[in-house]
Structure 1
Amino acid sequence: MLQHPLDILRVLPHDIRDGGGLAERHAERHQSVVHTDSPSRVPGSSSAATLLDHHHSLADIQQATGIPTLFDTLVVYESYPMDQSGLTEANAQAGITCTGIRPYAGSTHYPLAVIAVATGRLQLSLEYRQDVFARDTVESMGDRLLRILREVLADPGQRIAAVDPLGPEDRARIAAFNDTATEVPDETVHRLIERQAAATPGAIAVRHGDVLWTYRELNERADRMAVELRRRGAGPETLVGLALPRSADLVAAALGILKSGAAYLPIDPKYSSDRLVFMLSDARPVLLLTDRATGPALPATDVPRLHLEDLGLDTDAPTGVPTADSGPENLAYVMYTSGSTGTPKGAALTHANIVNPITRLAGILGSGPGSRMLGTASINFDISVFEYFLTLTTGGCVELVRDVLVLGEGGDHEGGDWEGRVVHTVPSALGEVLDRRTAGPRLDTVVLAGETFPPELLRKIRSMMPGTRVINGYGQTEDFYAMTFTIPDAWDGEGGIPLGEPLGNMRVYVLDGALNPVPPGAPRTGARPDRPPARQHARLRPRPRARSRPAGCDVDLPGRRMYRRGDLARWNADGQLEYLGRVDSQLKVRASGSSPPRSKRS
């Protein structure tokens, strides 16, 4: 639907939009009409008859696409002449007076129609359906359209892409949406956990089945791992592959890798051998930390393996202290995504990229000592970063289970009768849990992210889990977490559930095709500036395709990059981002994205 005034100008032919100015292209086209017999000029064609072989009726197009509505916006240019003076004279002679005559009159059945009438002066009007748009919304569109037209008239030679669609009020509103600057600890993830271990050494940090480790025990075990990893070449800006089953040792290993100064590279033995070989050859970790049960499932590569059983972690010998440390700008992990081109890409995040979101999220959740977090996510997904590090930096307990579906299996299964503070999962998984139960699990807070949050799921949560706080989260692997929306108790989800507002120190923009910010309400793709700076897609060897999809220069801080999303979104009047779908054909199953090229290859 047309909600961005520049869309009116972007219905012009492609070469007008992307090259040269309006005046230049208009002159070329006028000249071509004068010197040819063609009623309209098609580049590379001398006759309008060329178009006849490609003619299809709108009914045929609609039937072929299978969509119920082809158009929801109408742009009309009425150029036929009206003899106003003749009409006035005739009316006077007849002794009658007619007023309000115009070439186009009447209410449109389209949600929005833009009517341009060529009289002595160009007249513009906006017709709209009151059940779709509020009057003030349409008035804002009209104001923006007039401002854009005045800018074009002032400089007819400029490119359409260079036209600024924002007025001072729009810029002020967008700046207010992104006024998120706040203090953040200048620390690494593992130092924050060490600080918590010193404050509450006897508190339970990790639980898996019958295994319970205190903060002291977890910290000492991770220290032993770090010392051994350092001896084998791990250190700042190196990667250590991590392929372990879900267990308390998995949490200790991730922490131990960070303590060694290195970053961890999650490896899922269930991935195809080709994908694992690609990841290991692409990322080039110095070590692969696994155990003897998991090792046989991994493909043979030249990456040295280190088995957990060979580290002597259960000894009571004094704990060594890692001799090297990393800083906030060093890598913490590299997590491979499906890749928009079908080739997996490693998103490289620093400690600063993690500490900022978990600090902000901890404040939103009210996390602290004694809180319980259900650990359901694979370490190959960044929900695990939320579960492990947010909890362990605030004194809570991570309770590991097979996956979130155990909540739907009742008390006879591990975790089936779990009660705690926070569960973070994807909407489809929680929906399946509730489908399996007659009453919902007793939780303080459920955080949902990774997929579209359907309103019917919210209504089911309200019915089966009364009193549970519901948070809709949003982010991408490239920055871990960007925004949240705590859903008010009275909200029924009608009209869609917003993604929310940016977290502290995060900024989000909605950009048009020319990478310009668009006014609130206009649907476009999103972009998030690198603040704090992220590595995006990592290659330890330089390659042209190592780069992320840049959205250009930071809107507010020239010289800084922005990361461009493939999501379609818009700002609403309350400064919350609303998700409208994808601009590509990426598919998601349980928050795992798959691009068409990869699907075809599979």
Structure 2
Amino acid sequence: MAAYPTLPTDTQGPDLHLYIVQSGSELHGVLEYNACLFRPETIKRLAGHLVCLAEGAIANLNRPIASLPLLTSTEDQQLEDWGSPYFELPQQPIFTAIEAHAAARPAAIALNFKDQYLSYGELNQRANQLAHYLIQRGVGPGVRVASCLDPCLDVLVAVLAIFKAGGTYVPLDPSHPQERLTAILEDTLPPLLLTQAHLVSVVPAIAPQTFCLDQDWTQVRSQPTHNPNLPLDLDQIAYIIYTSGTTGKPKGVMASHRNLLNYIWVAQEKYGFNANDVMPAMARFTFSITMFELFSPLVAGGRLIILERDHVLDFKRLVQTLQEITVIHISPSLMRKLLAYIQEQGIDLQTLQGLRHISSGGDMVPADLLDQLRTLFPQAELYVIYGCSEISCMGCTYPVPTELPITETRVGKPFSNVSVQLYDPQQNRVPIGVIGEIYFGGAGITQGYLNRDHLTQEKFVTIDGQRFYRTGDLGRFDTHGNLEILGRSDFQIKLRGIRMEPGDIEAALRQAPGVRDAVVAACEVGNREKSLVAYLVPQPQQTLNVVEIRRFLQTKLPDYMVPTAFMALDALPVNINQKVDRKALPLPTPQDLLGTQSYVAPRNEVEQKLASIWESALGTSPISVQDNFFDVGGDSLQSIAVMIQIEQTFGKTLPLSTLLTEPTIEQMAAVLTQSKPSDLHKSVVLLKPGGSKPPIFFVHDGEGETLLYRNLALSLHPDHPVYGLQPYSRDGFPILHTRLDEMATYYMEQICLVQPEGPYFLGGLCIGGFLAFEIARKLRQRGQAVEMIALIDTADVKAELRSNLYSTERRNRLSQALGESQQRPVHQRVWSMARTISAKAFNLVRYEVSSRLTVIQCKLRMRLLRYYLDRGWGLPAFLEGIPVRVALKFAEKEYVPAAPYQGEVLLFLATEKSPVFDGTEIDDTPYAHLYADPLLGWEVRVTDGVCLHKVPGGHSSMLQEPNVRVLAKTMQAYIDARMA
């Protein structure tokens, strides 16, 4: 071998140096390297790559160097050896495993939701009956069936029934905007929609047939209970999951029954779930990981717990549920928040020792989080899962070692029947340690995108006779064959376990008011966790309004795709090709963001506790003590959770309207630290500022709250100022009036301070509507014009309840109990019913006695309160703190109707109870279900009739999204007509 030059020993050479010496017709090379930076095996591989490249260049003189292979035969064999093993899949659809458990262990509990349970026998029977019904309605191979359901037992019943009937399951999220739902329905064109009665108005009426599982089940009850046993091709499409699309429209990933079999069984083979396992379904039903959560415990013969979204985000309830759970899959961001709560609350970890398997994925799982998990749960096996919808989620998995250092980029090795390859842009396989694009092949690769042939051809490719999916993720293999993730080849965003295409969000932003152009990126703002940031270029001479933009996006995008931060730019940065240069986008600081305050950390214990409560409820961290609750994503539902947590933490009850008057942590902390917040409550609260149009006044509900009108206020014309009227008191709780007439007079005076002259527009929910009616009467007596009295699910105080209301409910409960126990032996059913009736009788007597004592006590307190107030005396302590609802009930019973009102009223009737308030003390039953008169007693109280409109939702949920939009649209049209 020819000699090669050496560097002087007294000088520092390069970290890596290649010497090439020609010897006759041969070239000889030597690599000199810094041993502190490179391992010997790395240098040996590099030398092999150089030889391979040189040989390729000689053999292919006309090929560009970038297209030449680097992979040596040794490495090629090594990569093959690291490949996943073959696992023999069952050749029967996934639901046959559940049928087998139903036959072998029919009484074993399969799933539960809240306090409702289904055994394997009951689950299979219910799914079979629905499947037979679907077959009668024309469902069969290739027929798509949409399912739009809130969490309930029937979510799984619907999926199984669709599969058994041979149909294709298309899940819809009822919380998504109608425009999003419309796009999916127009793309899939399902002939049948399965839903719930309270969601009928939420889903666009595109499907020709709609079946409500909760309301129409009588049509199914007579169907056969045996398995349909229809022949099913495993390559038939089982479900279509929609993900974010680059064009602004979601794209549907088509997965076959064979894909689903591989999805569930390779996870089962790897993780070894068993009949003793209990696993929660925590993800949204429109995410592909849901299939793993729904079917993994049931295939193993274990138990599935279905959780509502509010349950998942309420860590107190979630920790209680975790005491039952043995297996959990959870996103890194949610896991971090949950662990913080566990440590802050000092939860006894012994209560969670049943947790034996924890997996996380969907995003990079930080090393410190994995380390924290293995410290807190040493008994649990920890796994990272890497995959996506297009490969049926199960791509790679990494068992977190119990002692070795953790690398957050590592996602492990492929599951059985899965092939993972790394390719360069020319689709040459890249060597070990070299970065390439990650391609997946094998049994989990789905069929492609529905109605998107061009995109399917682009992303699903065939190389050397094998079909692959191009993930767009960049990665490399380490020396042990573990895959590491090192970024993206494009600009797709992965946040909180969800993949999002920026183009999808940007298309919506460009339609937002005042926006000329927009780009979206995932950034860390200050010391906050990574979140979506929208960079906006405004239209000429226009100012961007973040509240309006966010509200507009909420009508276009799912909530998780709405940016949490907005930054204004004069122009978007571009590269030399005049394309947007995303890498040149400025990293925003809190001071740069539109509509937000600079971040101010909590400065004392009260602010710290409040910040934890807000961050837990809103799912974002950290929150500045000067951030407005509603500007950082708060809504009326989350405000309830916040106030409950405040009461539990501080032992003080604050009205919901505190978030309107004191909307920051800083302000609320000041209220909590005052011994007597005497100036906290005002009678008139501004819900929404406006312009030149007349103001609208809404009177508080039966609890004295006005925050419930905020969604309605924001949905009305922006030029209308909207106010809420709440009970006056010296500390916010005891109401200082005991007669409805006095209350109406007082509120009228407060309204006139804001608006001295008419025309007046008034309204209210429940008793608030009746008070608005009385206020209107008094304004008319003063000669003022009243143009609107909006009665929102309001009954006249003298309207009569249905006489058979409770007997009907009891019959329904009895019928349900009989129906749910059909599979039990007769003697067990009789004994169970006898025990139930006995317990109910005892509870009824105890309830009646307790109720009567409470009524007597309340009457005495109210009469004493009136006695003191009428004489202007100061109130003793035992008369302070009387709830508003108690005073209103007392005043209602003494009210004497006056002559009919000279005019008309606008009556909005709720139609269907929603489960949105399940688990809370809020009763969402529509008044139309409680009262005998369809007009709730108003026809005899007015001279010009009742203008009736029905609104989707229940008594309270009619004021929540999306129902409130229907109410607001009708109300605004009425107002406009009266002003014309």
> Which structure has the greater CA radius of gyration?
2
> 1:177 aligns to what?
82
> 1:562 aligns to what?
468
Q: Is the 8 A contact 2:163 2:169 kept in 1?
A: yes
C-alpha separation in 2, matches of 1:299 and 1:223: 28
C-alpha separation in 2, matches of 1:578 and 1:99: 38
C-alpha separation in 2, matches of 1:114 and 1:288: 67
C-alpha separation in 1, matches of 2:320 and 2:83: 40
Over 3 Å counting, the alpha-carbon distance change for 1:426 and 1:549 in structure 2 is: farther
Question: Which has the larger displacement, 387-396 or 298-307?
Answer: 298-307
Write the mapping of 1:182-221 to structure 2, written as runs, cut at 5 A: 182-221=87-126
- With a CA cutoff of 8 Å and minimum separation of 6, indicate the structure with the bigger relative contact order: 1
Deviation of 1:238 after TM superposition, in Å, equals 1.6
Deviation of 1:124 after TM superposition, in Å, equals 5.4
What is the letter of the counterpart of residue 585 of structure 1?
A: F
> 2:361 aligns to what?
449
| Among candidates 52, 72, 86, match of residue 147 of structure 1 | 52
Unpaired segments ≥5 residues, structure 1:
1-97
C-alpha separation in 1, matches of 2:247 and 2:29: 43
> 1:91 aligns to what?
none
C-alpha separation in 2, matches of 1:195 and 1:329: 22
CA RMSD, Structure 1 to Structure 2 (Å): 2.8
What SS does structure 2 have at the residue aligned with 1:500? strand
Write the mapping of 1:505-584 to structure 2, written as runs, cut at 5 A: 505-531=417-443, 534-539=446-451, 544-545=453-454, 547-550=456-459, 552-555=461-464, 558=465, 560-584=466-490
Over 3 Å counting, the alpha-carbon distance change for 1:324 and 1:129 in structure 2 is: same
Write the mapping of 1:274-423 to structure 2, written as runs, cut at 5 A: 274-308=179-213, 309-312=215-218, 315=221, 318-319=224-225, 321-322=227-228, 324-403=230-309, 406=312, 409-410=315-316, 415-423=320-328
C-alpha separation in 1, matches of 2:293 and 2:87: 23
What is the letter of the counterpart of residue 389 of structure 1?
A: F
> 2:331 aligns to what?
426
What SS does structure 2 have at the residue aligned with 1:507? strand
Q: Is the 8 A contact 2:332 2:497 kept in 1?
A: no
Deviation of 1:239 after TM superposition, in Å, equals 1.2
Q: Is the 8 A contact 2:7 2:13 kept in 1?
A: no
Q: Deviations over 1:365-411 (max 9, x none)?
A: 22121211112111111221111112111101001122497486235
Q: Deviations over 1:50-97 (max 9, x none)?
A: xxxxxxxxxxxxxxxxxxxxxxxxxxxxxxxxxxxxxxxxxxxxxxxx
Deviation of 1:600 after TM superposition, in Å, equals 1.1
Deviation of 1:303 after TM superposition, in Å, equals 4.1
Over 3 Å counting, the alpha-carbon distance change for 1:428 and 1:275 in structure 2 is: same
Deviation of 1:151 after TM superposition, in Å, equals 2.1
Over 3 Å counting, the alpha-carbon distance change for 1:320 and 1:192 in structure 2 is: closer
What is the letter of the counterpart of residue 492 of structure 1?
A: P
What SS does structure 1 have at the residue aligned with 2:480? coil
Over 3 Å counting, the alpha-carbon distance change for 1:329 and 1:402 in structure 2 is: same
C-alpha separation in 2, matches of 1:322 and 1:546: 36
C-alpha separation in 1, matches of 2:314 and 2:476: 35
Does residue 463 in structure 1 map to residue 375 in structure 2? yes
What is the letter of the counterpart of residue 339 of structure 2?
A: L
C-alpha separation in 2, matches of 1:99 and 1:580: 38
Deviation of 1:323 after TM superposition, in Å, equals 6.6
* TM-score, with length taken from structure 2: 0.48
Deviation of 1:551 after TM superposition, in Å, equals 5.7
Q: Is the 8 A contact 1:161 1:514 kept in 2?
A: yes
Deviation of 1:100 after TM superposition, in Å, equals 3.7
| Among candidates 222, 229, 235, match of residue 134 of structure 2 | 229
> 1:594 aligns to what?
500
Question: How high is the sequence identity, in percent, across the aligned residues?
Answer: 28
Q: Is the 8 A contact 1:185 1:356 kept in 2?
A: no
Q: Deviations over 1:165-199 (max 9, x none)?
A: 22211110111122422211111111222122212
> 1:42 aligns to what?
none
What is the letter of the counterpart of residue 243 of structure 2?
A: T
Unpaired segments ≥5 residues, structure 2:
509-980
Q: Is the 8 A contact 1:221 1:313 kept in 2?
A: no
Deviation of 1:129 after TM superposition, in Å, equals 4.1
Deviation of 1:415 after TM superposition, in Å, equals 4.4
C-alpha separation in 1, matches of 2:212 and 2:187: 22
What SS does structure 2 have at the residue aligned with 1:312? helix
Over 3 Å counting, the alpha-carbon distance change for 1:342 and 1:490 in structure 2 is: farther
Q: Deviations over 1:294-327 (max 9, x none)?
A: 2222223244322112132784875255373423
Over 3 Å counting, the alpha-carbon distance change for 1:270 and 1:130 in structure 2 is: farther
C-alpha separation in 1, matches of 2:334 and 2:304: 19
Deviation of 1:446 after TM superposition, in Å, equals 0.7
What is the letter of the counterpart of residue 397 of structure 2?
A: T
Deviation of 1:122 after TM superposition, in Å, equals 7.1
Over 3 Å counting, the alpha-carbon distance change for 1:290 and 1:115 in structure 2 is: farther
Deviation of 1:473 after TM superposition, in Å, equals 0.6
> 2:397 aligns to what?
484
Q: Is the 8 A contact 2:390 2:446 kept in 1?
A: yes
C-alpha separation in 2, matches of 1:142 and 1:156: 21
What SS does structure 2 have at the residue aligned with 1:504? coil
Deviation of 1:116 after TM superposition, in Å, equals 7.0
Over 3 Å counting, the alpha-carbon distance change for 1:219 and 1:118 in structure 2 is: same
Over 3 Å counting, the alpha-carbon distance change for 1:585 and 1:99 in structure 2 is: closer
* TM-score, with length taken from structure 1: 0.76
What is the letter of the counterpart of residue 144 of structure 2?
A: L
Q: Is the 8 A contact 1:568 1:581 kept in 2?
A: yes
C-alpha separation in 2, matches of 1:254 and 1:587: 29
> 1:86 aligns to what?
none
Deviation of 1:504 after TM superposition, in Å, equals 1.2
Deviation of 1:359 after TM superposition, in Å, equals 1.4
Deviation of 1:578 after TM superposition, in Å, equals 1.0
Deviation of 1:131 after TM superposition, in Å, equals 3.7
What SS does structure 1 have at the residue aligned with 2:201? helix
Q: Deviations over 1:342-361 (max 9, x none)?
A: 43211111111111231121
Q: Deviations over 1:509-559 (max 9, x none)?
A: 0111111111111111111124356312123xxx5435253363234xx1x
Over 3 Å counting, the alpha-carbon distance change for 1:318 and 1:148 in structure 2 is: closer
More helix by share: 2
C-alpha separation in 1, matches of 2:329 and 2:310: 9
Q: Is the 8 A contact 2:86 2:417 kept in 1?
A: yes
Write the mapping of 1:22-41 to structure 2, written as runs, cut at 5 A: none
Deviation of 1:216 after TM superposition, in Å, equals 0.1
| Among candidates 139, 142, 152, match of residue 247 of structure 1 | 152
